[in-house]
Amino acid sequence: MSHPVDRIESPCVILLEPKRERTSRSMAMEEFQVAIHQGKLSDAISVVQAKPAQYFSNTPLNVAIVGEPGSGKSSFVNSMLGKRSGEPGSAETGIQATTTKAKDYPLLMLPQVILWDLPGREESYGSRVNQVDLNRFDFFIIVGYQRFRTVHAELAHEIQAMGKRFYFVRAKTDLDLEASRRRQASGYDDQKVLQRIREDCVTCLLNENVIDPQVFLVSNWDPQSLDFPLLLQKLQSDLLWLKRQAFIFSLPSLAAPVLENKKAAMKGKIWIKVLFCGFLGLLPVPGFSFIVAMFFFVKFRSQCYQVFGLDYPSLTALARDVGKPVTALQAVMASKSLMPIILWRLPDLVGATLMMVEYCLWKRFPFAGCLVSGGSSFLTSYYMLHRCLTAVVKDTLNVLSRALEGRERTPI
C-alpha cells in the first residue's frame, strides 16, 4: 500500500527526513501535513492524538528555567548537567546578574531535552527588561527562593495561559534549613521545616489556580539531597507526555508551509474573478459592480473555507472531536466579518455617483463613471480577494491553535 504522501500530487508536503531515516515522529508530521493539505483539520488532529506517546520520543523538549534574578537558575542548570560552576560548559553564576540572554544547555542524561537558562525576571517594570518570548518553550521550571513572589504568580499565569505546564523548584533550601536550625536549636526537625515550606509553596500555587502543583525543594550545592533526585525521576516519567505535548503545540507551525502552498494555488483563481469584476464595473449600471463584487467575495470566501477546512460541516466535526463548541472555533476567524470588505468597496460608489450625475444632469452616456467604476472594481476586487485568502490562511492556523488549546489537561 502506498503511503498517503505518495498519493498527493502537489509537492506541498515537506518530507522532513530521507525516507529510510524516517522516524515515527516524522511520519506523524507527514500524516498531519497530508490531512492539512486535504483541508481535513479534524483528521489532522486525530492522526496525532491517536499516536501512542512513544511516537514522540524524538521530539525535542525545550525547557525554560525561569524566575527572579539570583534565585539560583544558572546554578540549578549546572546541577542538572552534573557540572560545577566555572567548569567548561557550565552556566555562569554569581551574586550579580550574570545571565543576560537565553542560553541552551542540552541535558545529556535525557534524550533531546534542552535546558534554557533565562535572564532573571524582575517584578513589575522588569518584566519588560530582557524579556524572552516564553512561547518558544515547551515546558518550564520556575526557580524561586525564600518567599513565593508576584513574579512567580505572573509566570504561573503566563505559562498556564499558553496551556503549558511547569514544575516549581524552591532553590537554596539548604539556607532555609540552616536558618531554622539556628533559630530553633532544641527540638528541631528538618522534615517538619521542609514540610512547612512545601505546603506553603503548594498553597500559594493553588491560590493562583495552578492545577496539581509540582513542588521540589532543592539545594543546588547538593543534587543528591532533598527533592533533587525526585525531580529527575518525575521529569523522566513525564518525559514522553511532555514531548507529545510539545509536538502538539508545534502543529500550527507545521501546518503553516502547507497552507502557504495551498494559498499560492488559490491565487491563480483570483485573476479570472478580478478581471470579470473589472469588466462588470465598465457596464453603465450604477452600483452594479458593487453588488456583484460582494457576491463574488462571499462565494470566493466559502470556496476558501471549503478548501482550507473551515466550512461549517468541517468546523462542526473538528469542534466535536476536540470537545469545544463550534462558536469557540468561529470566534477566532477574522475573515467572517464583512464590514472591512464593505469599506474596501466604497470607492466603487464614486463611479456609481459619477454615472448618476452623468445620466441625470448631463443626459449622456456615463463614460467617465464607467471608467472610474471599472478601474476601482478591478483594483478593489484584487485586494479584497487577496486579503480574503490571507485571512483564511491565518484563520486556519488560529482555529488549529484554538482547537489544540488546553487539550489533555491530565495532571503531570
Coil, strand or helix: which one is 157?
Answer: helix
CB of 98 to Mg ion, least distance (A): 5
Q: Which stretch binds ligand GDP (CB under 6 A): 87-95, 129-137, 162-170, 193-201?
A: 87-95
CA pair distance 93, 81, nearest whole angstrom = 14
Q: What are the E-state strand segments in 181-327?
A: 215-217
Judged by CB under 6 A, does residue 171 bind ligand GDP? yes
List Cβ neighbours of 52 (8 Å cut-off, separation of 6 or more).
Answer: none
Give the pairing of strands 61-66 and 103-107: unpaired
Tell me the three state secondary structure of residue 48: helix
Q: How far is the CB of 74 from ligand GDP (least distance, A)?
A: 3
77 vs 318 by CB, closer to Mg ion = 77
Applying CB under 5 A, does 381 fall inside the site for Mg ion? no
Does 90 help bind ligand GDP (rule: CB under 6 A)? no
Of 42 and 173, nearer to ligand GDP (C-beta) is 173
| 42 interacts with, out of Mg ion, ligand GDP, none, CB within 5 to 8 A per kind | none
272 binds, among ligand GDP, Mg ion, none (CB under 5 to 8 A by kind): none
Task: Choose between 49 and 98: whose C-beta lies nearer to ligand GDP.
Answer: 98
- For the record, the C-alpha cell of 270 comes out as 483570483
d(CA 371, CA 78): 72
For residue 346, the one-letter residue type is: L
Q: Which residue has the cell 478580478?
A: 274
Q: Which of 231, 253, 345, 256 is nearest to 308 (CA)?
A: 256
Nearest residue to ligand GDP, scored by beta-carbon proximity: 72
**Of 79, 99, 214, 219, which one interacts with Mg ion (CB under 5 A)?**
99
For 283-366, where are the alpha helices, taking DSSP H only?
A: 288-308, 312-322, 326-330, 339-344, 346-360
Q: Is 43 exposed, middle or buried (0-12, 13-18, 19+ CB in 10 A)?
A: buried
Residue with cell 537558575: 73
Site string for ligand GDP, 43-82 (x = CB under 6 A): ------------------------x-xxxxxxx-------
The contact mask relative to ligand GDP for 103-132 (x = CB under 6 A, - = no) is -----------------x------------
Rule CB under 6 A: is residue 220 a binding residue for ligand GDP?
yes
Near Mg ion by CB under 5 A, which window of 98-106, 176-184, 253-261, 312-320?
A: 98-106
**DSSP-derived pairing of the beta strands 139-144 and 165-170:** parallel
Q: Which is nearer to ligand GDP, 151 or 333 (CB)?
A: 151
63-82: contacts with Mg ion (CB under 5 A): 73-74
Kindly report the number of other CB atoms within 10 A of residue 52's CB atom.
Answer: 9
Distance of CA 238 to the CA centre of its chain: 21
Contacted by 33, from Mg ion, ligand GDP, none: CB < 5 to 8 Å by type: none
**Nearest one of 378, 385, 367 to 276, comparing CA atoms:** 378
Select 218 or 341, whichever has its Cβ closest to Mg ion.
Answer: 218
Residue 176: how many CA atoms within 13 Å on its side-chain side? 23
What is the total count of residues that contact Mg ion (CB under 5 A)?
A: 3
Q: Which three cell numbers stand for residue 93?
A: 553564576
Q: Which of residues 265-324 bind ligand GDP (CB under 6 A)?
A: none
Which listed option, Mg ion, ligand GDP, none, makes contact with residue 220 (CB within 5 to 8 Å by class)? Answer: ligand GDP
User: Among Mg ion, ligand GDP, none, what does residue 372 contact (CB within 5–8 Å per kind)?
Assistant: none
The correct pick among 221, 241, 344, 382 for binding ligand GDP (CB under 6 A) is 221
Question: By the criterion CB under 6 A, which residues form the site for ligand GDP?
Answer: 67, 69-75, 93-95, 98-99, 120, 171-172, 174-175, 219-221
Question: By the criterion CB under 5 A, which residues form the site for Mg ion?
Answer: 73-74, 99
